[in-house]
Structure 1
């Protein structure tokens, strides 16, 4: 009963001062507007990518009769459709890109990343719902609750309440509930988005965990604000301390985490990595030149296999066999470099995520991306699935090159292009690409460590409140 009365009194005080009410309204409106804008953008992106994927597949299949190797270089696009919860948490998508051009002899990086070319402060220019909830809502909670206890101290009412025998835990819990409820109002768009995601096929376990993680984050920051207010003697001291804490926990430590990860697990730059790949590729031979010495052993093996003396007598097109052999060797090498690069990226990400033990902002950010299916791990799976499709359709075309085109016509194609064309029916080698988010179980397992970081912060805040009660007594 006493806790409820204190909570109502706190809300009445905020209503009278107007400042808290204004902050709550602004915070809630910002998150609502941001969620609406992001939802429209994500829905537009989803429909656009699905349309482009269909268009890309149709154009590939509608190509006329031509040399199969030209189709290898004609290539194909694949697009990653955003997950349902990306309307709140875009994750790494804006930085990594969501589409890839697939072609023979190379692995292209993902494209159309909105912020890859932006400045280091780009996060502050993209008011996504997750950014508002992770960074700005804690600031709003600070502005609302920094004087929760210190104003009672400055007015002398705290001593009166203690003299009258009020339970200090009741006092703190009443103010804590009021502060948490103000923060939860700003989570309203997230809750609505979670319901929308569930209706659109997302697992209820995922959406429930997603909301629960942000509720825990609000509980942590409300506890931090109340503990600092209880331990401070003046409003000014409380506000200054909390402002410094917000800067350190929401801005500095996450930034230090990413910089430390790059220093602890360094990776070569793009130019350096590209030169390393090119150096190794030279050793494999030129797949466009069947006379390259690198394919001499392949030539001997085929002549022996088919018991003939000349490549002209082979029942298959030697140039197509070279293309198939060369693409396999090249892909194995490119995959080796790609896996190494992804391991380096993941190592850096995992180091940065450990800073969640030092700041709840990093913890909720990692948790949010894992649960929503917009983490680096999901992007890496997109790259692997796209590469699998690339290799399959390129090798299928190389098979056509080998079996459906004679060696004589192939070597004379520069003098008479028409004789080196194959029927367009051979382009029916392209598998449909549909990228789905990780399963609910996988995402929950990946997010467990970061949920524990948030629980660690909740326990730490609880201990701080206990210390604050003892100090007041």
Structure 2
């Protein structure tokens, strides 16, 4: 604002709106501000479009691959049931509608798991793990742009909001004219918030698309309002430091430092602090511990392993027979089933320990939302988009239940539909091998796997603590801005 507000020509307009209009008039005359506005909106819009098409394609692709995997499994010919245990099949995770805006941890944790007997495989095909370094840098999701780049855009546009009034010596004149410092700040704040709405507009379009894809409309509205609150916090930061600074250069330097600290440094500090506060064993160390535990269980492929003597005696006693050949069931299948059950208990115990460690580290990192609004909005965004670490853990647990169910169903087929004698002699020629097979009709136990995110209510409730962090930041900044503006008004009146 480089000239006094003309009250006579704007008598029918609120003073706050007059300040807002004058701020926009200044920005539209500034090549830097116009360039930043255009680049910001276009960058957000293009990211939304690209990510939206990409996620839409991924939904159809993964659903198709899930159906293909299940159909391929069920179309296998007559085989030995344990061969099908090792043949296995895939489970795919379909992206949630709001993942178009925030892919969250999905890009790093993987989206599919190969399910087979005797093993718990890790999730595969994570986008960032398959990307080159340049691809990672070029992968700009809408969430990243709004969380990290949009605050920088607000800084470039608004860093001189108050300092230029000081440098041009119009601030004292405005106050002498009767313009309240609070009126001035409210008008400047509304101008910056109108920029926030421009940045949010592409997200609104995608939010509507997510609603049409089945997402809860209240959750979408809450998601978008949270981002609007986050960017409004940055508008307050811009106004606060511009109010405190004496010159444009000082304001820009202070805001640049604040952006680096809150958006770049603090998330790294949070991640490092979480790793130190909750140390977790490395993969190699865990693998050795798992192997040591599994060795105590016996070899499920060897029915003569001493570890299964108790099972053998209990079955002989149960069916009141003297030899394994007299049993009405296949002892080798019973061994496979018992072994898989015990093995899964060990694997699940280690998996739960790992997931609890990851969750504890995540909770430590999330507490830093009290020190950085970027951490708070990142957490809230992932939880509401259904792309948080909790959702990934639920995917792992559900796929493990699916794996165990299908393996134990095949082991039950091994027990009931394949005789012990035929099974024992399966390697004695082609004819014996053919007798040790069961009908392909038994492969029909595979049901369509569909993974869905948590309900809207669960996600909303889970994100309330991070919403409180954003509200805390907004309240703190309003209070500090009130103190700074009061001090500025006193100094200007002297």
Q: Report if TM-score (shorter chain) is over 0.5.
A: yes
Corresponding residue for residue 485 of structure 2: 469
From the superposition, tell whether residues 111 and 286 of structure 1 become closer, same or farther in structure 2 (CA, over 3 Å). Answer: same
2: distance between equivalents of 1:12 and 1:171? Answer: 15
Matched, 1:452 2:475: no
1: distance between equivalents of 2:282 and 2:27? Answer: 53
Deviation at 1:89?
0.4
2: distance between equivalents of 1:302 and 1:203? Answer: 53
2:84 to 39, 56, 71: 71
1: distance between equivalents of 2:37 and 2:398? Answer: 44
Corresponding residue for residue 443 of structure 1: 459
Corresponding residue for residue 390 of structure 2: 377
What is the number of residues matched between the two proteins? 473
CA RMSD of aligned residues (A): 1.2
Helix, strand or coil at the partner of 2:114: strand
Deviation at 1:428?
1.1
Deviation at 1:18?
2.3
Deviation at 1:228?
0.3
From the superposition, tell whether residues 66 and 327 of structure 1 become closer, same or farther in structure 2 (CA, over 3 Å). Answer: same
Corresponding residue for residue 84 of structure 1: 97
2:276 to 251, 263, 282: 263
Corresponding residue for residue 359 of structure 2: 346
Matches of residues 261-340 of structure 1 in structure 2 within 5 Å? Answer: 261-340=274-353
Q: Indicate if the aligned counterparts of 1:356 and 1:450 stay in contact, CA closer than 8 A.
A: yes
1:93 to 106, 121, 141: 106
TM-score by length of 2: 0.94
2:139 to 106, 126, 143: 126
Q: Indicate if the aligned counterparts of 1:88 and 1:193 stay in contact, CA closer than 8 A.
A: yes
- Larger mean CA deviation between 192-201 and 388-397 belongs to 192-201
Cα deviation 1:442-468 (Å, max 9, x = unaligned): 100110000000001000110121111
Matches of residues 48-447 of structure 1 in structure 2 within 5 Å? Answer: 48-116=61-129, 124-415=137-428, 416-447=432-463
Q: Indicate if the aligned counterparts of 1:49 and 1:81 stay in contact, CA closer than 8 A.
A: yes
Helix, strand or coil at the partner of 1:187: helix
1: distance between equivalents of 2:117 and 2:320? Answer: 31
1: distance between equivalents of 2:130 and 2:214? Answer: 34
Deviation at 1:121?
9.9
Q: Indicate if the aligned counterparts of 1:231 and 1:471 stay in contact, CA closer than 8 A.
A: no
Q: Indicate if the aligned counterparts of 1:38 and 1:87 stay in contact, CA closer than 8 A.
A: yes
TM-score by length of 1: 0.98
2: distance between equivalents of 1:313 and 1:89? Answer: 60
2: distance between equivalents of 1:108 and 1:124? Answer: 29
Deviation at 1:125?
3.6
1: distance between equivalents of 2:214 and 2:58? Answer: 18
Cα deviation 1:132-166 (Å, max 9, x = unaligned): 00000000000000000000000000010011121
Corresponding residue for residue 33 of structure 2: 20
Q: Indicate if the aligned counterparts of 1:72 and 1:104 stay in contact, CA closer than 8 A.
A: yes
From the superposition, tell whether residues 122 and 375 of structure 1 become closer, same or farther in structure 2 (CA, over 3 Å). Answer: farther
Helix, strand or coil at the partner of 1:127: coil
Deviation at 1:40?
1.1
Helix, strand or coil at the partner of 1:107: coil
Cα deviation 1:196-238 (Å, max 9, x = unaligned): 1111111011101100100100110000000100110000000
Deviation at 1:319?
0.0
2: distance between equivalents of 1:120 and 1:335? Answer: 34
The gaps in structure 1 that reach 5 residues or longer are none
